[in-house]
Amino acid sequence: MSETSWKDRLFGGFRKTSERLSTNLTEVVGTAKLDDSTLDNVEDALIMSDLGPSAAARIRAKLSEKKFGLNITEIELKEAVADEIAEILRPVAVPIEITAFPRPQVLLVIGVNGSGKTTTIAKMAHLFQEDDYGVMLAAGDTFRAAAIGQLATWAERIGVPVIRGPEGGDPASIVFDGVKAATDQGIDALIVDTAGRLQNKRELMDELAKIRKVLGRLNPEAPHDVVLVLDATNGQNALAQIEVFKEIAGVTGLIMTKLDGTARGGVLVAAAEQYGLPIHAIGVGEKIDDLRPFDPDLVARVIAGVA
Ligand SMILES: Nc1nc2c(ncn2[C@@H]2O[C@H](COP(=O)(O)OP(=O)(O)OP(=O)(O)O)[C@@H](O)[C@H]2O)c(=O)[nH]1
């Protein structure tokens, strides 16, 4: 896909978020002087737009440091907010690199049901394929037959092999088969779907521990990545998921999906500020090429409504 059309999609995707922040910030201006009361209002506007109290306080402090007492127009305020959002996003906008030696790089993908995990795995595979990497999928979410079928359908559609077992089968054994097959076939990236049953933390922890143990026997470096897929429409609840999964699954990076059609895209900034985990890519639609790594400066401007 051309960069222009991705940009359009990005704009379209974040439209509701930027409208919300824009509206909230517009209410602020009128008081043209950036004094304490205006700063209070800016901070409130950022919190109301899901950027979270911590990012809001940080942006407020920076604005105050740079522009306190100055007269500021609405557009200048939005530009300044965009600059500070970019500061927060820059360190975490880190695409996944396929660097594992020996191959394959093993990526465990976790996330609660409905977060967009399966679709995101297909989109990631597609991204890697575009870079000429050989990709294989492993259907480690054996909890539901539908999940295995859905992954297999995607694999067929994008033309990548998939390792699968029976419903209720042992995920660790599928991962084992996956690594062996990927190694034999010279595959670069093995993406493993896992069950995301947060309802039962103990079970999930045990399952992941077993997968790690099996992987460790084949390659002590694996899994190289533990990617948590989050649904942006869940707002603050998505942040709570980071907290839990970080603790129980050793998350190494995030992918945030469904940023299209939600006014809650500010949660991307909240996640960046609060957790500092790499955000590998963002999803702005249901199509195969609707997931990309992101340009933090551009996304910041889109969110603040000045792009
Ligand atoms: N609008 C939009 N929809 C998305 C995005 N990513 C995934 N979806 C949709 O979200 C729904 C759930 O996605 P799945 O991939 O099935 O999610 P899952 O987490 O694997 O969920 P289960 O299979 O139910 O466990 C599907 O209808 C996807 O098309 C996105 O970035 N934007």
Q: How far apart are CA 100 and CA 189, in angstroms?
A: 9
Residue to probe by mutation, ligand 1, list 6, 9, 15, 119, most atoms within 8 Å of CB = 119
Report whether pLDDT(123) > 90: yes
Q: What is the mean pLDDT of residues 247-273?
A: 94
Distance 285 CA to ligand 1 centre (A): 9
Report whether pLDDT(279) > 70: yes
Query: CA quadruple 194, 279, 124, 298: dihedral positive or negative?
Result: positive
Q: Any binding-site annotation on 117? A: yes
Q: How far apart are CA 64 and CA 70, in angstroms?
A: 10
Q: Which ligand 1 atom sits nearest the alpha carbon of residue 193? A: 20
Instruction: List pLDDT tens digits, range 154-200.
Output: 999 999 999 998 888 999 999 999 999 999 999 999 999 998 777 67
Measured CA distances, 245 to 92, 110, 207, 277 (Å): 18, 8, 13, 12
Consecutive H or E run containing 246: helix 236-249
228 DSSP assignment: E
Instruction: List pLDDT tens digits, range 13-72.
Output: 888 888 888 888 877 766 568 899 889 989 999 999 999 999 999 999 999 999 888 888
Instruction: List pLDDT tens digits, range 70-120.
Output: 888 888 999 999 999 999 999 999 999 999 999 999 999 999 888 999 999
Q: How far apart are CA 141 and CA 203, in angstroms?
A: 13
DSSP letter string, 73-107: -HHHHHHHHHHHHHHHHGGGB-------SSSPEEE
Q: Which ligand 1 atom sits nearest the alpha carbon of residue 196? A: 25
Residue 129: pLDDT band (50, 70, 90) is: very high
Enter the ipTM: 0.94
pLDDT (0 to 100) of residue 3: 64
pLDDT (0 to 100) of residue 257: 96
Is residue 190 classed as helix, strand or coil in its secondary structure?
A: strand
Distance 76 CA to ligand 1 centre (A): 37
Report whether pLDDT(2) > 70: no
Q: What is the mean pLDDT of residues 122-131?
A: 97
Amino acid making up residue 14: F
Distance 120 CA to ligand 1 centre (A): 7
If one counts every other C-beta atom within 10 angstroms of the C-beta of residue 154, the result is: 21
Amino acid making up residue 160: V
Ligand 1: lining residues by beta carbon, under 6 Å: 111, 113-119, 147, 150, 257-258, 260-261, 283-286, 290
Report whether pLDDT(244) > 80: yes
Distance 119 CA to ligand 1 centre (A): 6
pLDDT (0 to 100) of residue 248: 87
Residue pair 90/296 in contact (Cβ under 8 Å)? The answer is yes
pLDDT (0 to 100) of residue 142: 87
pLDDT (0 to 100) of residue 1: 54
Distance 113 CA to ligand 1 centre (A): 9
The model's pTM: 0.95
Report whether pLDDT(9) > 90: no
Q: What is the mean pLDDT of residues 141-146?
A: 84
